[in-house]
Structure 1
Amino acid sequence: MRCKSKAGKSDLYRSHLSHGPITLGLACFLTMLKRIWGQILVLSGASGFADLRSNRFAPDAAKRYRRDQIIATLDQTQLLLLGNTLFAPILAFQALPSGSLPLLIGWTLVMVFGSWALFFWTRPLYRCTGEVADLTRMKQRAFIDGSFWWMGMACVYPHATGDAKALVAIIVTGAVALGTFGYSRSPGPGMIYLAMTCLGSGAVALVTGLTVGTPSDILVPFLSIFAFVALSKSVLDRGRAILQSFENVEKLSEKSEVVELLLKDYEAQATEWIWQADAAGRLTAAPDLIVQLLGGTDATQDDQPLLYRVGEKISPESRADFDRMTEAVRNREEFYDIVLAFPDRELDGLRWVVVKGRPQFDNEVFQGFRGIVADTTQAVEAERQVQYLAAFDNLTGLLNRNSIQKRLGDLDHQKDRVTAFLIDLDGFKQINDSYGHDIGDALLRAASDRLQALATDGAWAARLAGDEFLVVVPDTQTTCSKSRLMFGHEICDRLSEPFQLADFELQISASVGMARFPSDTDKGQDLLSLCDLALYDAKDGGRDRAHAFDQAMLDQLNRRIAVIERLKAAVRDQKIQLHYQPQHRLSDGCLIGFEALARWNDEDLGTVGPDVFIPIAEQTGLIVDLGEQILRNACTDAHGWFKMLGSEAPVVSVNISPVQFARTDVSRSIANVLAETGLPAQLLEIEVTEGVLISEKSRVATTLTELSTMGVSIALDDFGTGYSSLSYLKALPLNRLKIDRSFISDLAKDTESPIVSTVIQLGHNLNLQVIAEGVETDTQVDRLIESGCDEGQGYYYGRPMPLAEVNTYVAGCAATSRAGKTG
């Protein structure tokens, strides 16, 4: 029964095999393939197959990657298709003795004609763009191609015996090898082909071994699986290598594109390039800019030497550098810093280049020159602009101060004779402020044009600063000062003529200071200072005139410098003394106060009047410290009188300069001094002039109000000599008006003085006390009393006295006052 059973089972397999070996093989193969393919899908991630997909690239790169795979695979599978047509008949021949002839012939025809059909079907893929569908067609080709071989294995292998079966295995192995090589550039189709051939053939051998074969046939499937794994790894490894190569090429391409863009951008913006010339001097390499400057493409295509073309095109002003380069080229020596200028239509001017070159030798054989050429146009123009600005005024085009001072410094007193005219435009500031800076600049240009028209025959014209100009005219041995002063007046007349600027007709005047070289000074650099002294004298004399320098001006300047230096020391050492001039009530002659007056007796300069050192102190700023010293000393002295006389003590009047109002907090300073000295505020009077009120009226008014609130009296000094604005009298907290001495002196000549009477009446109407300065005679006293004046100050009552005399004077007045009350 057991044998029968076995025999029956064997017959059953033989029966199936004889009726449908392909069907049986296909059933077994599909079952095995399903299981193996499932494991392949599970292991694909671990094997790295997923990493080979094209979706890791950008769309364009992915297309290129797929197209490269397809075309390379098409090229390599041509040999496989040829092998199909050769090995198919041989494989079918091995099964003829026991196989089905129609089946074998049919498979052979399908294999041969199918391979050629595949060839022509996939031939258009050479023109593909690398779409996913193109790669799908390649996978379909691999599937069909592999299917041919495992079906051939199914038709032949079960019927082959002995050596024929070994030959079949060898042929199939060759087909696998050829397919592995053919599809190795495309991992997807390659894996499909290997699966169909290796696993399909192994399945056929397994079925054969289990049915009609020998135990050795059972070994073939395991060998097939091993071959599949080994060859799959090879396909995957080569796929990774191809992928890595493609990625490297893509990265290199991207870098190349970036580098190319950078190079193009550099070439577009670069200012330095390489040039080269051969041994004959012909230009072989140069940037486009240089080629164009040399005459276009002919510069590198004809046989003319480079030096010939450069010499033909350069501007004459670079001829010296060109000659230096020519000498170096002839001697085959290195040259550098050759600056050449070429006319350039694009710039509508000159294009400047700097050239460096070095001779090239090969085994001591001269090959030509190679070097660097740089576009230095901007640098040269910038340097020229700097040089221009260093020597010329940018607004007017005249020489500037630096340039004129250098020229004056270069004057030689043994051979040069010139007259310099320093010109200042009178009223320019008002025009500039009223009409705007554009009109002001236009006026300066127009004035400079007139000066240039006058400055002929080698004369220089310069703008020093603002509205100040200088004209230097050459002299001869016979040129006299009188004729040159007439030229100065001509400058004044010419600049006084109206200027038509835009829609405005403007008129100014000019003040001119003149000095001569070497008659006034033998140092050219001092000429400007001497002109300045003469100009100051011209402006002080009323403007619109020309004054010549004389030695008295320099003596006055030196005296002023000496006064400034000694005044600094005197203020520092507090050597400015106070004298006091008494002030009396006119009706009864009673002493009411003293005006503090500064006096300075210097050990080197002697006595220096306040009309000299006070203006200098204001101009130099020394008045701030000096004014505070005077205020403190006056309050200290007045406190002594207060201790002597109590409430009947005289008031002390102290002048406050406009500079003090501008630079210090006057009210706080006075409050501090009163607190330090202990002087009651009602015994201090502050005198201000109308000049204090001109600039910062609101600020000064606030300060005076604060002082009045403290109890300090406010007196308006020199009323009637300035603007005499009645708004001052109404708006300010004043207590007294002081009539200037110039009006009081007229009382001795005229029986009546309308001005004095008017001022007195005006003061009384405003509830102000009125004091007259410069009272010297009985007649003046009588007439002031008749006019209703309240108080007087002058030599009639006493000259300014030092403190010791003042104390005696105060004591005497106090005794007289007590005697009068007793009597």
Structure 2
Amino acid sequence: MFSKLGLGDLGTQGLPLDVANRLRRGQLRGTIEQMRVMLLGNTLFAPALSMNAWGQGRDVLVVLWTTFIILFSWWIFYSWSKTYRTTGSTVDMRGFVIQTFFNALTWTVGMALFYPIVEGDQKAIITTIMAGSLALGTAGFSHAPVAGITYLAVQTIGNSIIALICGLTTGTSTDYLLAVLTIAAGISLFNATLQGAKAARVAFDNHERLSEKSEVVELLLKDYEEQATEWLWQTDQEGLLLSAPAQVLEMCFPLAEEENNTNLFNLLAASCTEAAANDIERLQAAVFEKSEFHDVRLSIKSPVDGELRWILMKGRPQFEHGKFQGFRGIFADATAAVVAERQVQFLASFDGLTALLNRNSVQKRLSELHDEGTGEGRYAAALLVDLDGFKQVNDSYGHHTGDLLLKHVAERMQKTVTGKSWVARLGGDEFFVMLQNNEPLSAAEISWTAQSICEQLSQPVKVEEFVVQVTASIGISRFPEDTREGTELLSLSDMALYEAKNAGRDRITFFDVEMQDRLTERTTIIERLKLAVRHGKIEPYYQSQHALSDGSLVGFEALARWKDDRLGFVRPDVFIPIAEQTGLIVELGEQLLRRACEDAKKWGELMPEAPPVISVNISPVQFARTDVTGLVSRVLHETGLSPEQLEVEVTEGVLIASKEKIAATLQELSEIGISIALDDFGTGYSSLSYLKDLPLNRLKIDQSFVRDLSQAATSPIVSTIIQLGHNLDLSVIAEGVENEADVERLSELGCDDGQGYLYSRPMTREAADSYVSEIAFQASHQ
């Protein structure tokens, strides 16, 4: 209706259904509250109008109309009692408007029946009653604009038409004037009704926006109360609850049926665990003294879920005009802080994965060990246990599986110790077992325990869907036999463990003094080796390689040699493994490669027709930690050496460690033009698949086979290696050639090249330069 009149902002179009219902409900209820008195007034106004029309020949109609309007008014009165409970539906509003229409129509019918038959004062009284009905009804129905305008339109149009017809019939100017005044009054009342409706709609919209904001604020406050970790509380002077957070009350056992009669402090005292006894006493003392209190930590076991929670409480007494009113304060959820604090305390002494003692606890307990008097546990044995093959488990199955395996290991180790003995995890796959006794521990007893540990740990264990098996190496030191300082036991056991690892793993080794000497020597070598690598003190020595057929020079092998100012000559089999273990081999290997390529470049210029090839060994550590292809390419570019003059040597051990990665790198080197040699073939993990799948160019026969070449058992092995190499289109070179007999025998077997003392000992760079120069000179004068 309003949209057709251009007043769409007064209707419900575009409003959500719930909002439209609230708007209609408010309009209906406001109108009903205002109009009930008017309906009751109909029982007075209708007889008054009828009395003025009585005796004019229509008495029957007067009685019928009066009876109808009184009964209709009372029916509407009672029906509105039901409508007042409306939800604001369009059906209820439509019914209400229809009732309003018939109410207005009934009065208009009365006007039509009685106005034309009266004269003088009676007409004036009827006109006054009808005007009052129009004004009061329109004002009363204004809360519901649709009903108000309906009422106004029916009476204005009906009454003005009746007055106009009477004027046309009788020719009385008063009737014309009444028709005009009725229309003017209707327009005026319509405008007033419209303005009132607009004002009511603005008020409704403002109320809706305010309600929406209030709902958001209420939701936010509710969410804050649910999510917050701090809450207010308050008691009266007797300690009875005035307000307290539901989060805290839910954790407490109620002392009374009604919350308002509950003493907060008694409630907390009854609900807290024994761990909070001291804090409860402090709280009760503060309450008794009416003094301020802080940081009262209460531990409560929730009856809801059985979880232990901690609450931090503080409060302050409230006074008004010097009279005590009660306490007010704050509860704070300290559960997360306490759990974190305890976790930190736990991790300070225990391992987070296995819950065993950690390194800090081990150091502390070792520092408390002494050999004075006859105290308990003054004799001890320290067992340092390291898992063999744990890295492969991590690499193969993942760190999650490795962690689960460590838990199984911890459980098994704890089963092997009793009495005063204890187990700890130092980190990674290292464990520590401390055997303590009041009497000296024999080597047999200690060995029996260590062997039990090894046997337990070597048993296969099912970890999720995998079956995993590892072994253990154990280093052992004793107190006070090996040291009188408990803190030294760990380092002594570590030395023994190092020996056990070097001896082949899955071993038990006791500490002895020689280990200390070896460790000191090793430490010295490491420190001097760092300086030597840093300053380039490790030099390449070269041993020549020759064709067995005519003895012509075909190349050199670069060998690392180190002469230290303090240590003298250090053997390669001593410092090379240390360099690999410490990672120094990466820098050292690059230095040796660069120098060898620089020297080979010079030799190639001296022998351009047959430039000697330089053979350089690449360590497994270099393959694992560096981009070998990138390194070699860069050195070749910087030195200007042709790739065909460089040969890279690898051992079978390198291939075992990471075949796929090494194979890819060797393929890249081969594509550049670099030769690949397999060193010491036959001494390690010999496999035909390596020879078939890798881009090899040459096999090197280890000197141990050449040295025993005269023995019947060795010759077939050498012959087989040579034939195998040739069948795979590989050249073969033998190391350790020391005499002509070796040359003759190797030549008979078909070996291509030889290297050994027969031709030259390893020589310095200068000596190698002279060696090549002499050969080049002889070749030029032939």
TM-score after normalising by structure 2: 0.80
Encode CA deviations 1:235-293: one digit per residue, 9 max, x unaligned.
Answer: 33444444455555555666666666666666666655443322111234434454443
Contact preservation (8 Å) 1:511, 1:546: yes
Residues 52 and 297 of structure 1, relative CA distance in 2, 3 Å threshold:
farther
1:77 aligns with 2:31: no
Deviates more, 1:311-320 or 1:490-499: 490-499
Counterparts of 1:615 and 1:450 in 2: how far apart (Å)? 34
1:118 aligns with 2:72: yes
1:325 aligns with 2:287: no
Q: 1:67 aligns with which of 14, 18, 28?
A: 28
Encode CA deviations 1:622-672: one digit per residue, 9 max, x unaligned.
Answer: 434433433343344345455556647765443333344455665676566
Q: 2:592 aligns with which of 630, 655, 659?
A: 630
- The residue number in structure 2 matching 1:489 is 450
Deviates more, 1:139-148 or 1:270-279: 270-279
Counterparts of 1:339 and 1:252 in 2: how far apart (Å)? 42
Deviates more, 1:120-129 or 1:548-557: 548-557
Deviation at 1:74, TM superposition (A): 4.1
State the AA in 1 paired with 2:290. Answer: R
Residues 560 and 114 of structure 1, relative CA distance in 2, 3 Å threshold:
same
Q: Within 5 Å, which residues of 2 pair with 1:812-823?
A: none
Residues 282 and 707 of structure 1, relative CA distance in 2, 3 Å threshold:
closer
State the AA in 2 paired with 1:371. Answer: G
Contact preservation (8 Å) 1:444, 1:467: yes
Deviation at 1:530, TM superposition (A): 4.5
SS in 1 for 2:5: helix
1:102 aligns with 2:61: no
Deviation at 1:569, TM superposition (A): 4.3
Counterparts of 2:520 and 2:324 in 1: how far apart (Å)? 75
- The residue number in structure 1 matching 2:498 is 536
Residues 377 and 216 of structure 1, relative CA distance in 2, 3 Å threshold:
same
Counterparts of 2:135 and 2:428 in 1: how far apart (Å)? 98
State the AA in 2 paired with 1:78. Answer: L
Deviates more, 1:780-789 or 1:244-253: 780-789
Q: Within 5 Å, which residues of 2 pair with 1:553-632?
A: 553=515, 556-557=518-519, 559-583=521-545, 593-632=555-594
Deviation at 1:759, TM superposition (A): 0.4
Counterparts of 1:248 and 1:42 in 2: how far apart (Å)? 20
Q: 2:52 aligns with which of 91, 97, 115?
A: 91
- The residue number in structure 2 matching 1:133 is 95
State the AA in 1 paired with 2:506. Answer: D
Q: Within 5 Å, which residues of 2 pair with 1:797-808?
A: 797-808=759-770
Counterparts of 2:199 and 2:398 in 1: how far apart (Å)? 79
Cα RMSD (Å): 4.8
Deviation at 1:460, TM superposition (A): 4.1
1:752 aligns with 2:706: no
Q: 1:449 aligns with which of 411, 435, 449?
A: 411
Counterparts of 2:636 and 2:151 in 1: how far apart (Å)? 117
State the AA in 2 paired with 1:598. Answer: A
Counterparts of 1:444 and 1:177 in 2: how far apart (Å)? 94
Deviation at 1:540, TM superposition (A): 1.3
SS in 1 for 2:327: strand
Residues 639 and 260 of structure 1, relative CA distance in 2, 3 Å threshold:
closer
1:160 aligns with 2:120: yes
Residues 720 and 64 of structure 1, relative CA distance in 2, 3 Å threshold:
same
1:45 aligns with 2:5: yes
SS in 2 for 1:510: strand
Q: Within 5 Å, which residues of 2 pair with 1:672-821?
A: 685-697=647-659, 715-729=677-691, 737-746=699-708, 752-760=711-719, 762-764=721-723, 766-767=725-726, 771-775=733-737, 792-809=754-771
Runs (5+) with no aligned partner, structure 2: 87-91
SS in 1 for 2:25: helix
Q: 2:305 aligns with which of 338, 347, 365?
A: 347
Q: Within 5 Å, which residues of 2 pair with 1:653-672?
A: 653-662=615-624
Encode CA deviations 1:735-788: one digit per residue, 9 max, x unaligned.
Answer: 6544433344446xxx62421453045415644665543455787678767877
Encode CA deviations 1:355-397: one digit per residue, 9 max, x unaligned.
Answer: 3433333333222223343555456546555655665445433
- The residue number in structure 2 matching 1:281 is 239
Contact preservation (8 Å) 1:419, 1:484: no
State the AA in 2 paired with 1:467. Answer: D
- The residue number in structure 2 matching 1:338 is 296
Counterparts of 1:781 and 1:592 in 2: how far apart (Å)? 15
Contact preservation (8 Å) 1:146, 1:194: no
Counterparts of 1:438 and 1:720 in 2: how far apart (Å)? 38
Counterparts of 1:707 and 1:205 in 2: how far apart (Å)? 118
Counterparts of 1:43 and 1:777 in 2: how far apart (Å)? 120
Counterparts of 1:648 and 1:396 in 2: how far apart (Å)? 65
Counterparts of 2:671 and 2:139 in 1: how far apart (Å)? 115
Counterparts of 2:630 and 2:188 in 1: how far apart (Å)? 105
Residues 647 and 760 of structure 1, relative CA distance in 2, 3 Å threshold:
farther
Deviation at 1:499, TM superposition (A): 5.4
Counterparts of 1:109 and 1:673 in 2: how far apart (Å)? 127
State the AA in 1 paired with 2:68. Answer: G
Residues 207 and 737 of structure 1, relative CA distance in 2, 3 Å threshold:
closer
TM-score after normalising by structure 1: 0.76
Contact preservation (8 Å) 2:309, 2:335: yes
Counterparts of 1:223 and 1:707 in 2: how far apart (Å)? 114
- The residue number in structure 2 matching 1:7 is none
- The residue number in structure 2 matching 1:399 is 357
Q: Within 5 Å, which residues of 2 pair with 1:477-516?
A: 479=440, 482=443, 485-486=446-447, 489-490=450-451, 492-493=453-454, 495=456, 498=459, 501=462, 508-515=470-477
Residues 368 and 760 of structure 1, relative CA distance in 2, 3 Å threshold:
same
Structure (1/2) with the larger helix percentage: 1
Runs (5+) with no aligned partner, structure 1: 1-40, 94-99
Counterparts of 2:97 and 2:651 in 1: how far apart (Å)? 106
Contact preservation (8 Å) 1:55, 1:62: no
Deviation at 1:423, TM superposition (A): 0.8
Residues 631 and 333 of structure 1, relative CA distance in 2, 3 Å threshold:
same
Deviates more, 1:312-321 or 1:583-592: 583-592
The size of the alignment, in residue pairs, is 762
Deviation at 1:75, TM superposition (A): 0.9
Contact preservation (8 Å) 1:147, 1:197: no
Counterparts of 2:410 and 2:225 in 1: how far apart (Å)? 47
Deviates more, 1:76-85 or 1:703-712: 703-712
Contact preservation (8 Å) 1:314, 1:343: yes
Deviates more, 1:128-137 or 1:431-440: 431-440
Deviation at 1:444, TM superposition (A): 3.3
SS in 1 for 2:410: helix
Deviation at 1:546, TM superposition (A): 2.9
State the AA in 1 paired with 2:471. Answer: S
Counterparts of 1:807 and 1:537 in 2: how far apart (Å)? 42
Identity %: 44
Contact preservation (8 Å) 1:315, 1:343: yes
Residues 604 and 197 of structure 1, relative CA distance in 2, 3 Å threshold:
same
- The residue number in structure 2 matching 1:17 is none
Counterparts of 2:460 and 2:614 in 1: how far apart (Å)? 55
SS in 2 for 1:234: helix
